[in-house]
Chains A and B, each alone.
Chain A
Amino acid sequence: MRVMAQMAMVMNLDKCIGCHTCSVTCKQAWTNRTGTEYVWFNNVETRPGLGYPRTYEDQEEWQGGWVRKPNGRLALRAGGRWKKLLTIFSNPKLPSIEDYYEPWTYDYETLTNSPQTDTFPVARPKSLISGKDMNVEWSANWDDDLGGSHEHAARDVMLKGIEDKVKLEFEQTFMFYLPRICEHCLNPSCAASCPSGAIYKRSEDGIVLVDQDRCRGWRMCVSGCPYKKVYFNHKTGKAEKCTFCYPRVEVGIPTVCSETCVGRLRYIGLMLYDADRVLEAASTEDEHGLYEAQRNVFLDPRDPEVERAALAAGIEPDWLEAAKRSPVLRLITDYQVALPLHPEYRTMPMVWYIPPLSPVVDVVQETGHDAEDRGNLFAAIDALRIPVEYLANLFTAGDVEPVDGVLKKLAAMRSYMRDINLGRDPDESIPAAVGMTGEQMYEMFRLLAIAKYAERYVIPSAHAEQAHALEELATDCAVDFDAAGSYYDQALLGEGAGYPTPVAVENFRMLQDRQTSDTLAAPDDKATRVNLLNWDGKGAPEGLFPPQRDRGGA
């Protein structure tokens, strides 16, 4: 057993309202630069739909991920090492900018410079690639909310095998949103495709990163990733991908997409896994067995034997504690309501999803039946094969059974909690029908519905104590000046000396203050709160300004 820790995420799709806040904040934080205009580390797709880039799930076409060869060994679908080197001068499977979209801006200047005319001046779209006028014909979420789906949706790769049924019942079409980031796979095919060895998996937290100093721009990772989540920065000539916001995660705060998620549908936590069994699990013969196989690779940190092995493998005790409290562990292992996205790519993805029950609920509601009744919902899950089969194509390589099980658990939770909320006696037969206890079901409800920040994100900070000690040997201070931030203390040599306070640390402290206070106004006792109405402007009342150390009052 070789225990490794992996930072993982679970998204509860039932709560996604498709607002794209995650995409926008991520873009503002990371890809708001020339060369990355078309790059969306996080994007939200409407399903059924084509996704981004268009039909990226069609691996017959794009050749991403791994395949199991007849002899049982795994091979890159796009070909092995020699084939990669022989095709290095022109990557045969690289999506072109048209498969993403041609990024554009608008010629806003004409609006302000226009002379007075009878007609309104128009800001024309200008390509950010060629600088010329262009027609906007596609974008990262062109088919948002099923827009234009009567034309495009039929090309959704995941509809394969169920097209006829969908056409039949298109009037009562179903739809949900699928936010996607890099999967930070246990068996990343992008890393395996990189000729330079620039893409690596961090041994501490499993985050998959591109070393920008080692990337030589061969572009094999872009075609190797079946999720098409490695992008080519066309200005620097280097690959870039979602970093799981490692600068934030290292100091214990969640990724930007999670932090800003309006529906609070993302959960971040650690998963422990046995690195020795990853390859074996990824080589499982039956595609339907891959979900189960990946779950079996995970280790339960509450198991004393695993605990011993983890400590022996150098996982710090506080990380082990965090792994025990991981919300992701509960959703994947305990309640088994989270499923991986496209296990059939055999990359062992680590961003999992709770499939949405809402398409089913909507249909039941429209028929006028009670959409919170267990019987109605169970019957609908069985009867409405389209959503279930579609979801199975996404999350279990087409195996309907696990999706069915998850949806029934979610349906049971609705019915069970209704009784409790209405003050009736909880019906213990409901959780029993899906193999759970009432207590478990209540805990699951808490986690899915009302969990607070600290429960949704259990992120231990990285261990840099030793690195710091080695680096700062000569300048380290024996006396702690300021318990909160001795490392960044600038008192000795004056302001600007040493390292600047990292923005992430500053953010972290501010956010922590704001988020751990359960009231709107802090400080929340009236005695220390500043009343601006009767403040005469003299002196600095406590709490009005942030504390300043050296200046002595404001």
Chain B
Amino acid sequence: MNVLLWVIVPYLCLAVFVVGHAWRYRYDKFGWTTRSSQLYEDRLLRLGSPLFHFGMLGVIGGHVIGLLVPRSWTAAVGIDDHLYHYAAVGGGLVAGVMTLVGMTILIYRRRTVGPVFSATTPMDKVMYAFLGAAIVLGMWNTIAGSVFSLGGEYNYREGVSVWYRSFLALQPDADLMAQAPIGFKLHALVAFGLFALWPFTRLVHVFSAPLGYLTRPYIVYRSRDDRPLGNAAPRRGWDQVGR
């Protein structure tokens, strides 16, 4: 059971994540967009979207530090557990609350503003369920586990993080996860579910964060494509996009 949950399922999800993105990029570049609904509604979006996105950037940054940086490294540069704990909980709470509030506004907007709701696909709804669950569980772990110490002390840097690094190093240690509190287990499972869904949702826009804009020249010149004059060659369903 442990092997299934903490070895097989995660690798499966990761495989779907990687292969799914490659497939989507090759065959559906046209569908690769943020699918913005700002044209329909601006007031709530102006508040909710930056809150959510900037909060999310903080959350992602926190996860990178928490999961990928071993305890020994931070100890080596003189950050003791106490200090780390305060920084992590403080930063995590700020980013988490921003994300949660932003997401609440965005979901409220999506449900109540007619045009936005009718532009919502079933895939969006499934994705929102996973994303929302992952965020709520993550917040619960931070608040219940780290602030109020419900269910005993648990240092994820000795458990979940080590497992995650072993997972990335392709030598997964399932036992480490099996000992983690239920909140962390659920959070990890939901997150892996989200990763598996990722390539098939609008979340792909994360990977087109336009950082190249900072360095490219303002005006882009391009030559006419090599294709028959007058119109595009009819594209067959199995043809790759942008040959």
Residues of A near any B CB (own CB < 8 A): 81-82, 84-85, 88-92, 94, 96-97, 129-132, 187-188, 191-192, 194-197, 199-205, 211-219, 232, 234-238, 247-248, 250-251, 461-462, 464, 467-468, 470-471, 487, 499-500, 502-505, 508
Of the residues A91, A197, A232, contact of B213 by C-beta under 8 Å: A197
Residue in B35, B37, B45 whose Cβ sees the most chain A Cβ within 10 Å: B35
In the complex, A84 Cα to B210 Cα: how many Å?
Answer: 10
Taking a contact as CB atoms under 8 Å apart, the answer to whether B222 and A202 are in contact is yes
B205 within 8 A of A: yes
Of the residues B214, B222, B231, contact of A203 by C-beta under 8 Å: B222
Taking a contact as CB atoms under 8 Å apart, the answer to whether B32 and A216 are in contact is yes
Of the residues B34, B35, B38, B118, contact of A94 by C-beta under 8 Å: B38
In the complex, A90 Cα to B231 Cα: how many Å?
Answer: 35
Taking a contact as CB atoms under 8 Å apart, the answer to whether A191 and B53 are in contact is no
In the complex, A143 Cα to B189 Cα: how many Å?
Answer: 58
Residue in A130, A237, A247 whose Cβ sees the most chain B Cβ within 10 Å: A237
List of 6 A-B pairs having minimum Cβ-Cβ separation, nearest first:
A195-B210, A192-B218, A504-B230, A467-B226, A213-B29, A237-B35
What chain B residues lie within 8 Å of A505 (beta carbons)? 229-230
B149 within 8 A of A: no
- 17 A-B contacts, Cβ less than 8 Å apart? A85-B210, A90-B49, A129-B40, A197-B212, A197-B216, A199-B220, A211-B222, A213-B32, A232-B36, A234-B40, A461-B229, A464-B228, A467-B227, A468-B228, A499-B228, A499-B234, A500-B234
B77 within 8 A of A: no
Taking a contact as CB atoms under 8 Å apart, the answer to whether A89 and B54 are in contact is yes
In the complex, A243 Cα to B35 Cα: how many Å?
Answer: 22
Of the residues A90, A195, A203, contact of B221 by C-beta under 8 Å: A203
Residues of B near any A CB (own CB < 8 A): 29-30, 32-42, 45-46, 49-50, 52-54, 114-115, 118-119, 205, 208, 210-214, 216, 218-224, 226-231, 233-234, 241-242
Taking a contact as CB atoms under 8 Å apart, the answer to whether A219 and B36 are in contact is yes
Taking a contact as CB atoms under 8 Å apart, the answer to whether B115 and A217 are in contact is no
The dominant DSSP class at the A interface is: loop
In the complex, A487 Cα to B229 Cα: how many Å?
Answer: 11
Whether A212 touches B233, Cβ cut-off 8 Å, given contacts A85-B210, A197-B212, A203-B222, is: no
In the complex, A202 Cα to B114 Cα: how many Å?
Answer: 40
What chain B residues lie within 8 Å of A236 (beta carbons)? 30, 33
Taking a contact as CB atoms under 8 Å apart, the answer to whether A247 and B222 are in contact is no
In the complex, A199 Cα to B54 Cα: how many Å?
Answer: 27
Kindly provide the distance from the CB of B195 to the nearest chain A CB, expressed in whole angstroms. 21
Taking a contact as CB atoms under 8 Å apart, the answer to whether A232 and B39 are in contact is yes
Taking a contact as CB atoms under 8 Å apart, the answer to whether A250 and B230 are in contact is yes
Taking a contact as CB atoms under 8 Å apart, the answer to whether B229 and A462 are in contact is yes
In the complex, A214 Cα to B227 Cα: how many Å?
Answer: 18
Taking a contact as CB atoms under 8 Å apart, the answer to whether B231 and A502 are in contact is yes
What chain B residues lie within 8 Å of A195 (beta carbons)? 210, 213
In the complex, A166 Cα to B68 Cα: how many Å?
Answer: 69
Taking a contact as CB atoms under 8 Å apart, the answer to whether B38 and A196 are in contact is no
